[in-house]
A and B are shown apart, each in its own frame.
Chain A
Amino acid sequence: MITFMNSDSEEEVCNERTSLMSTESPPARSYHEGICTEERDKEVQEKRRGSLGNHGDADQCTPDSRGSSRSSSLEEDEEEEELTLKYGAKHVIMLFVPVTLCMVVVVATIKSVRFYTEKNGQLIYTPFTEDTPSIGQRLLNSVLNTLIMISVIVVMTIFLVVLYKYRCYKFIHGWLILSSLMLLFLFTYIYLGEVLKTYNVAMDYPTLFLVIWNFGAVGMICIHWKGPLVLQQAYLIMISALMALVFIKYLPEWSAWVILGAISVYDLVAVLCPKGPLRMLVETAQERNEPIFPALIYSSAMVWTVGMAKVDTPTKGALPKDQEQDEDSSDASGDHSYSATYDSPRCTPLHVPSYAVEELEEEEERGVKLGLGDFIFYSVLVGKAAATASGDWNTTLACFVAILIGLCLTLLLLAVFKKALPALPISITFGLIFYFSTDNLVRPFMDTLASHQLYI
């Protein structure tokens, strides 16, 4: 299954394209694992947007690594293969864990809090109701809902690309800050309220205010500025879960499934077509050597060790500082997605001991990035399966395994093609196939077996 993870030393493509990408820039030796998948994040209202993790410095390191790569010895290649395989698997697991956590949070909430499975109206993006007398009408309505939703997403993506092209960074950042504010405060308030109602726990307003204020403020700081990596990851997972819960609640049943299918198709088109908005976004960002919307990407970047990119600045400490300066100059907000930035204020004193450690271990840790939209739509699929599959856990589990395998396959394809690839299509396709087949075929079979207590 992991045969794809052969690092072609010749093609060091540091293609920081999308959500799945190694934050590490290739070191002096050609160790490279161009794990980048294009990812985009869809957002409906003033929400998140597709972001592609980009590494400003990645481009700079490419020429260097290319040169050094050609001179790497055979032994190094072999070692690289072995390490590449190990690290490839590690990347996959680094993505499995947050995706699993997000799905677990969503499924746990759906199964326990009634609020998110009650029908309480629909979003304005899905105006057609599904309470129609005939099936044909219902299908038609759901298709229309999907068309409207997808066109809203397309329009917003194009708007974002236009804004980015014309360097309206302040507008974009304001937009992002507004959406995270809403998620961290309003939706958390609603969520907390419903959870407290479910468990019949009384909480007074001052305590509630304190809790929500602290949660939200720390979240804003961690996501948009600097904070401990684990905390930032936890916040990103939580806001993805909250967003997914909103979708699960407000999207009518059939529309949700059709939208999931349509969004994977859109993802495929937007990322792979030459004129696709996301591809243009990524290329623009690459041209300018800037990271894209770091607030919208989950990063599992770990300690950066030797070979953090530039040949002239081989130490860990130096690079983060450069990045900081780069970012400030490009008027971007603090790049939280680089764990390095957390270290940068104290990069100088840190640099010496970390360098010493690196020399000792010669181990490279790198991070992977995944856009939040992927988290959201995976969780929507699994959550919808949990909410609507007639109380059956088998369907939920089947969808969960299908999505994980889809993610694995996407990474595999990524390593084979070394190009930007969308992360949604394979997983969502598998998830949809498994949802419908498990719900309609496996469930009656397993129920019948269970009622006779038969085991296969």
Chain B
Amino acid sequence: MTAAVFFGCTFIAFGPALALYVFTIASDPLRIIFLIAGAFFWLVSLLLSSLIWFVAVTLSSTKDESVQKGLLIFGVLCSVIIQEVFRFAYYRLLKKANKGLMTISQEETSPISIRQLAYVSGLGFGIMSGVFSLVNILSDSLGPGIVGIHGDPPQFFLASAFMTLVMVLLHVFWGVVFFDACETKNWWALIVVIVSHLLVSGLTFLNPYYKASLVASYVIMLLMGIWAFFTAGGSCRNLKRCLLCRDKDFLLSNQRAR
């Protein structure tokens, strides 16, 4: 419960997202706008799901623990589904915007491709989701206190930070796969994305037992990451060329951008 914990957890959870932002998004104003719009869409989805949960809780006026827990599970399910619906809605909005842009400019290519938009929107969703999950915990970690004094696990902050990191990255991967699935009308991929989201949220129900929830979530994240990589057009050859700095197109385009 010191500044070390605060900074450590902040950088664990948001370090990769910040790096992604600085290196890929900050230089292009259009992407920044789409990022914030994605964050806004996630926010609206959260609002709706909170409304549903709140109405359900107010209607069931019992203080019974199990009922409340059941309502919470229902709330989480609703929230995941509404998030995916809003992801789809954002996809449709972006398609319309892109189409509009292309017809106006009468050009072959729009300034931003749907794949880039998928990545940016996923990152927007992820950052907003991570921030909303973690920021209150972080601000508490700055204050005085002892973690786990009543028998709860003392790695609460660390586990929260790692879980947030997983959610941020997962949202990016889900975004990429989701948009591609919508583009190629691959409904199975869509269903897998939704199911994996439900799975990861469900795993957090195991939560003080971090070994299960965190490890499984990371495994899912790695699998989704590999899938998103291949969906976005990556391949083993590409990867090798990129890592060995032999990818001429990439090197050339980087120079041009500078």
Using CB atoms and an 8 Å cutoff, list the residues of chain A in contact with chain B: 1-3, 6, 78, 81-82, 85-86, 89-90, 92-93, 96, 391-394, 397-398, 401-402, 404-405, 408, 434, 437-438, 440-442, 444-450, 452-456
Contacts and interface: CB of A to CB of B under 8 A. Distances in A.
A455 B216 CA distance: 14
B76 interface: yes
A404 B76 CA distance: 28
A171 B151 CA distance: 70
Given A401-B40, A453-B159, A93 B33 contact: yes
Residue among A3, A408, A453, A456 with the highest chain B CB neighbour number at 10 A: A456
Given A1-B93, A6-B104, A405 B53 contact: no
A455 B200 contact: yes
Contacts of B29: 86, 89-90, 92-93
Contacts of A1: 33-34, 37, 93-94, 97
Nearest to A87: B29
Nearest to A411: B33
Give the top 3 A-B pairs by smallest Cβ distance, nearest first. A3-B100, A81-B105, A89-B29
Interface in B203-229: 204-205, 207-208
Given A81-B104, A453-B159, A444 B76 contact: no
Interface of B: 28-30, 32-34, 36-37, 39-40, 43, 46-47, 49-51, 53-54, 72, 75-76, 79-80, 83, 93-94, 96-97, 100-101, 104-107, 111, 128-129, 131-133, 135-137, 139, 156, 159-160, 163-164, 167, 200-201, 204-205, 207-208
Contact of A446 (B105, B111, B136, B200): B136
A90 B26 CA distance: 11
A402 B40 contact: yes
B204 A408 contact: no
A445 B49 contact: yes
A454 B47 contact: no
A398 B42 CA distance: 11
Given A3-B97, A85-B101, A441-B50, A401 B133 contact: no
A82 B102 CA distance: 10
A335 to B, nearest CB: 27
Contacts of A455: 133, 163-164, 167, 200-201, 204
B224 to A, nearest CB: 15
B187 to A, nearest CB: 23
Contacts of A6: 104
Contact of A93 (B32, B72, B159, B208): B32
B30 A2 contact: yes
B111 A456 contact: no
Nearest to B136: A393
B107 A82 contact: yes
Contact of A454 (B34, B76, B132, B156): B76
30 contacts: A3-B96, A3-B97, A81-B106, A82-B111, A85-B30, A86-B30, A86-B111, A90-B29, A394-B132, A398-B43, A401-B39, A401-B40, A401-B43, A402-B40, A404-B36, A405-B37, A405-B40, A434-B43, A437-B50, A442-B46, A442-B47, A442-B50, A444-B54, A447-B136, A454-B201, A455-B133, A455-B163, A455-B167, A456-B129, A456-B133
Main secondary structure of the interface of B (DSSP, over half): helix
Contacts of B131: 397
B1 to A, nearest CB: 16
Contact of A85 (B37, B53, B105): B105
Main secondary structure of the interface of A (DSSP, over half): helix
Residue among B46, B49, B159, B164 with the highest chain A CB neighbour number at 10 A: B46
A176 B135 CA distance: 41
B107 A78 contact: yes
B33 A397 contact: no
Contacts of A408: 33, 36-37
Contacts of B167: 455
A68 to B, nearest CB: 21
Nearest to B205: A454
Given A78-B107, A445-B53, A453-B163, 10 more contacts: A6-B104, A85-B30, A86-B30, A86-B111, A437-B50, A445-B46, A445-B54, A450-B137, A455-B164, A456-B133
Contacts of B40: 401-402, 405
Contacts of A437: 47, 50-51
B36 A397 contact: no
A1 to B, nearest CB: 5
A93 B39 CA distance: 16
A452 B72 contact: yes
A232 to B, nearest CB: 22
Contacts of A3: 96-97, 100-101, 104
B246 to A, nearest CB: 32
A446 B135 CA distance: 11
A1 B92 CA distance: 11
Residue among B34, B97, B133 with the highest chain A CB neighbour number at 10 A: B133
Contacts of A89: 28-30, 32-33
B160 A449 contact: no
Given A453-B204, A456-B83, A92 B139 contact: no
Contacts of B75: 445
A401 B125 CA distance: 12
Contacts of A393: 135-136, 139
B200 to A, nearest CB: 7
B35 to A, nearest CB: 11
Contacts of A448: 72
Given A82-B111, A401-B36, A2 B136 contact: no
Contacts of A456: 46, 49, 76, 79-80, 83, 129, 133, 201
Nearest to A7: B104
A370 B29 CA distance: 18
Nearest to B109: A82
A454 B79 CA distance: 12
Contacts of A450: 133, 136-137
A86 B111 CA distance: 8
Contacts of A442: 46-47, 50
A6 to B, nearest CB: 5
A201 B87 CA distance: 49
A447 B50 CA distance: 11
